């Protein structure tokens, strides 16, 4: 999964982009914060994708 796809998925689940710091999109929902790396078309690793989804409490 690419970083852009993950950002879209998080937005659909109520997360909002707070700011973009370099190539990382900082997303917030309530008091929680998640950093999503977006490096063009580069795929994120399985472990990183799973960890971000777990932090966001999204089951895929």
What pTM does this model have?
0.91
CA distance 7 to 27: 8
- Predicted confidence at residue 35, as pLDDT, reads 97
Instruction: Give the tokens for residue 45.
Output: 């690793």
Strand boundaries in the chain, DSSP class E:
16-21, 24-29, 32-37
* Residues 17-55 pLDDT 10s: 999 999 999 999 999 999 999 999 999 999 999 999 999
CA distance 41 to 33: 23
- Predicted confidence at residue 59, as pLDDT, reads 87
């Amino acid at each position: 999964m690419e970083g852009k796809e993950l950002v879209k998925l998080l937005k659909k689940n109520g997360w909002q982009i707070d700011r973009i710091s370099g190539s990382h999109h900082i997303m917030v929902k309530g008091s929680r914060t998640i950093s999503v790396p977006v490096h063009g078309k580069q795929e994120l690793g399985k472990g990183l994708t799973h960890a971000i989804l777990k932090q966001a409490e999204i089951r895929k």
